[in-house]
Amino acid sequence: MPLVAERKNVRAMLRYKEDGEPERQEALKGYMLVLETLKGKLELESRKGFTPASVAKAQNRPNNGNHWTDWVPPSVKVKVQELFDAIPREGIRKKTPFERRIPAPLGKQMKERLLKRTEKELEVAKAGQRAAYLSGEQDAMQNADAKVDYIEQALEWTAKAEYTEALPTTWHGFF
C-alpha cells in the first residue's frame, strides 16, 4: 500500500510540469522507473505464490523488507538521490525519494493493530513472568523480566509513533 501511494504521488508530480525544470522531470522519471520496477518484481513473486515477508527473509533484506524502501538496493537509491540533488533549489520544496512514510489511514490501522497485538503479548508475558517467579528459577525470572521490559518499551515506542511512520508488524521488529 505505501508503494502504491508513492507511485500515485510521483505520477501526480510528473503531470505538474513547470517550465525550465528538466532536472525535476528527469529525477521524477528515474524515481518512477524504480517504483514501477519494484512493483513489478513484487507482483511477480506474488504470482509465484511467495509472500513479501518470505522473499525478504530468503534474500536477507534490511528490516525484513518491512517497508518498500527496504527492497531498493543502496546503489539505486544513491543514483536517484543524485538526480534529485541536481534539481536547482530556488525556495521550493523538493521531493525526498525513498522516504519511509506510509499513508495516514493505513498507518492508523497498522498502529492500532500493533498496539492491540502487543498488549495481548504483554498479558501473556506477564503471566509467564508470574509462573517464572513461582518456579524460583533465576534464569527463567531474568528472561521473563527482560521480555516484559522489551514489550513495554515497544508499546511505548508504538504509542509515540506518528500514523505516517513505518512500524513493524510485531513488537519483535523494534529489536
All structural domains of the chain with their residue ranges? 2-85, 105-174
* Cβ neighbours, 10 Å, residue 66: 19
User: Band of the pLDDT at 46, cuts 50, 70, 90?
Assistant: confident
Q: How far apart are CA 159 and CA 162, in angstroms?
A: 8
Across all residues in the chain, what is the average pLDDT? 86
Residue 18's pLDDT is: 62
What's the pLDDT at 4? 85
| Gap between the Cα atoms of 84 and 30, Å rounded | 9
pTM, two decimals, is 0.64
Q: Give me the pLDDT at residue 125, please.
A: 93
83 or 165: which leads in pLDDT: 83
Q: Which of 16-20, 44-48, 64-68, 131-135 has the lowest mean pLDDT?
A: 16-20
Q: Where are the alpha helices (DSSP H) in 65-137?
A: 74-85, 104-135
Report the alpha-carbon distance of residue 50 to residue 28 in Å, rounded: 30
- Report d(CA 68, CA 2) in Å as an integer: 7
Q: Does residue 19 register a pLDDT over 60?
A: no
Coil vs helix vs strand at 61:
coil
Distance CA 28, CA 30 (A): 5
**pLDDT single digits (tens) 65-90:** 778 888 888 899 999 999 888 887 77
